[in-house]
A and B are shown apart, each in its own frame.
Chain A
Amino acid sequence: MHEQKIPLIRLAKRDSMEPWKVWCIRGSSFLAAILLGALIFLLMGNNPIAAYGTILSGSLGKKTAIRQTVKLAIPLLGTALAIAPCFKMRFWNIGAEGQITAGAMAASYFALFWYDKLPAPLLLLVMGVAGAAAGGLWALIPAFFKARWNTNETLFTLMMNYIIIGIVKWLQGGPWEGRPGSQMIPMFDSAAVLPKIFGVHCGWIIVLVMTVLMYIYMRHTKHGYEIAVIGESENTARYAGMNVGRIIMRTMFLSGGICGVVGFIVASGANGTLYDGVAAGVGFTAITVAWLAQLNPFAMIGISGLLAVLEKGADTLQTRMAVPASISDIITGIFLFCMLGCEFFINYRMIFRGKHKEVA
């Protein structure tokens, strides 16, 4: 029979889907992630409901806890914003980790050596600008080679991370070391620390403002349009007369610049000093945040908040229920897998054997 040759499931691309169906799929994948996480808690011998309850109360239960959670969400959101234009352009910048570190390093230079020469507001401004410039320049290097010789940017930006982290390690144990032998850079002067608003350093305001600006930039400016065209088809952009190489470099400078600002915020606001782990994996996690948000800046607020809740909640879980805090990475991973996988059901349609009527 002819019927036998048709595979059981065939796939076709879907043009569009009603929004409510899309949200049903996303909702159920979220639920699936929660259930898988619950399974892990069960295997560990913990009550999953109590565990999730602890995560929630530990991250959102008290005012101080909420502040901690917001503090964790700030760099995630900021970096996800930075990554959005690159990924829109299909330029796989996975060097955010390094760009954050570069920005933090440049900001720290002014915090450590200029704090008595400039008034406080100006000092912070200079630190921010220096951070942006350093992050931008660090990102510009791989962008230049991509534009000129089409050098693979995924691997190039990845390597750049470890180079700058190594440099900070050297500063930490060498020229910038505080007490000899401590392997630590001294704490910043109070003039170089970001002021607090509602108990959290004011980085959250900077990041929220950047969210709005990035939305406008991506949706309503010529630059944003050019980025979108290159992402869809580089050749189309070229035929339309766009200077692709220049746009790549410009966008990467912007992306690295925002990462640099995040580095400044983290060093000055959260840590009050510089050390080699300043980025702490944020550069990688933020990529998944940006991607899951479909590069929509406002959706990033929600997702970075969710991941921050998981991370802070897992800390509480460790102290209260003696579950290792690395459980947060596991659950984050499961969550990411589910959300990444569910896009398939939104983009593709499965056709089962035997069903011949075409679905419009």
Chain B
Amino acid sequence: MNALLLLIYNAVLNGTPLLFGTVGEVLTEKTGNLNLGVEGMMYMGGALGLGGAFYYEMFAGQNASGFLAVLIAILCAFLGGAFGALIYSFITITLRANQNVTGLALAIFGTGAGQFIGEYMRTTSGGYVAISNHLKSAFMTSPLPAALQNIPVLGPLLFQYNIFVYLGIMIAVLMGLYLRRSRSGLYLRAVGESPSTADSAGINVTRYKYLATILGGGISAIGGMVYIMTIAGCVWNHEGLAGEGWLAVALVIFCLWRPVSAIFGSILFGALMILYLRLQLPFIPDQIYKILPYIVTVIVLIFTSMRNSKDKQPPASLGLAYFREDR
């Protein structure tokens, strides 16, 4: 029982950066923009988020507040990702360049920028970028009252996570409600399914695409920050995010473009990522375990295309630029 609890706990923890990355990308893809630059945006978010908290502490010194540090980190990461997504949006929406290629260019640019910022902070601050334990606890421990956390079984299962787990689930649920239940969400989906139809219905296609892509990019980037601040232990290392962003792109498919399913998907992927530590089977080496999330995604991809059912497809205009005068 205890081992299982621990597995679930760690799966949720490892899945949370993915959840942010995925939910942001779902919003982007729902408007028909396939932004493959998630990895790049998450890198920028990770570096800038860490940088925000680091310089805030340097500035505020002893009386730095944990809450404010978290807020600043979120804001910095969001702005970093939003900036990347803005470049992407301008080039693909306004200038109508190929989305795949632009997304890859953003991935190259973003990983470079993230690494660069991380390295730069390291060299200018004397070789080591880390925040104090006092602030770390704001990022890594639960914000909920101890009474809740100490409930047996339920405590560790529900109440002992860091603040980002709850934030991520909240964002996913809100986005699910927005996309499914609100008029604006319907418009947004219409833009992704058939921009010309949406356009003739009077929906401002360009505005929806821009806003969703930038907001989505920002949310994805928060995932990068969460990875650095919780899993990587608030330190910038050369490994960076280790493919977390690409996994988020996979998870978008796995959850069939539904934010609420992304919650369960991210926990599952988180479990698959750490399964090799918890459940050692003979004859199955660690590295083979680690490719499980990708194999699972491929299988889902194949089955959805074979079944070809209407509500499980990618947005119809995914990856295509919209040009009103085109027929």
- Beta-carbon nearest neighbor of A330 in chain B: B112
CA distance A347 to B325 in the complex (A): 13
Give B84-129 interface residues, CB cut-off 8 Å to A.
87, 90-91, 94-98, 100-102, 104-113, 115-116, 119-120, 123
CA distance A340 to B103 in the complex (A): 11
A352 part of interface (Cβ distance < 8 Å): no
B246 part of interface (Cβ distance < 8 Å): yes
Stretch at the interface among B3-11, B157-165, B187-195, B290-298: B290-298
The verdict on A159 contacting B123 (CB below 8 Å), with A173-B287, A287-B100, A288-B105 known, is no
Q: Is the CB of B104 within 8 A of A94?
A: yes
Binary CB contact string for chain B from 243 to 256 against chain A (1 if under 8 A, 0 otherwise): 10011011001000
Cβ-defined partner of A159 (8 Å) among B90, B96, B294, B308:
B294
Residues of A within 8 A of B294 (CB): 159, 162-163, 166
The verdict on A13 contacting B95 (CB below 8 Å), with A169-B287, A327-B112 known, is no
Q: Is the CB of B116 within 8 A of A333?
A: no
Cβ-defined partner of A13 (8 Å) among B91, B115, B325:
B325
The verdict on A149 contacting B109 (CB below 8 Å), with A94-B36, A340-B97 known, is no
Cβ-defined partner of B115 (8 Å) among A285, A326, A332:
A326
Stretch at the interface among A50-58, A150-158, A214-222: A150-158
Residues of A within 8 A of B319 (CB): 92, 154
Residues of A within 8 A of B91 (CB): 337, 340-341
B281 part of interface (Cβ distance < 8 Å): no
Q: Is the CB of B301 within 8 A of A151?
A: yes
The verdict on A326 contacting B250 (CB below 8 Å), with A156-B298, A287-B100, A291-B98 known, is no
The verdict on A326 contacting B112 (CB below 8 Å), with A94-B104, A166-B290, A167-B291 known, is yes
- Beta-carbon nearest neighbor of A285 in chain B: B108
CA distance A166 to B293 in the complex (A): 11
Q: Is the CB of B246 within 8 A of A158?
A: yes
Residues of A within 8 A of B291 (CB): 162-163, 166-167
Residues of B within 8 A of A150 (CB): 305
B288 part of interface (Cβ distance < 8 Å): yes
Q: Is the CB of A336 within 8 A of B109?
A: yes
Interface residues on B, range: 35 or more
Q: Is the CB of B302 within 8 A of A340?
A: no
Cβ-defined partner of B119 (8 Å) among A160, A287, A326:
A326
Cβ-defined partner of B287 (8 Å) among A156, A166, A285, A337:
A166
The verdict on A333 contacting B288 (CB below 8 Å), with A145-B302, A149-B305, A152-B305 known, is no
Q: Is the CB of A287 within 8 A of B325?
A: no
B225 part of interface (Cβ distance < 8 Å): no
CA distance A258 to B301 in the complex (A): 26
Q: Is the CB of B102 within 8 A of A340?
A: yes
Binary CB contact string for chain A from 144 to 184 against chain B (1 if under 8 A, 0 otherwise): 01000111101110111111001101100110000000000
B70 part of interface (Cβ distance < 8 Å): no
Residues of B within 8 A of A209 (CB): none
Q: List 24 A-B contacts (CB under 8 A).
A: A11-B325, A13-B326, A92-B319, A145-B305, A149-B305, A149-B306, A154-B36, A154-B100, A160-B298, A162-B294, A166-B287, A166-B290, A173-B286, A281-B108, A324-B123, A329-B108, A330-B113, A333-B105, A333-B106, A333-B112, A337-B109, A340-B101, A340-B102, A343-B97
- The 7 A-B residue pairs with the shortest CB-CB distance in the complex, in nearest-first order: A329-B112, A333-B109, A166-B291, A170-B287, A326-B115, A324-B119, A336-B105
> Which residue numbers of B lie inside 8 Å of A, CB to CB?
34, 36, 87, 90-91, 94-98, 100-102, 104-113, 115-116, 119-120, 123, 243, 246-247, 249-250, 253, 285-288, 290-291, 294-295, 297-298, 301-302, 305-306, 308, 314, 319, 323, 325-326
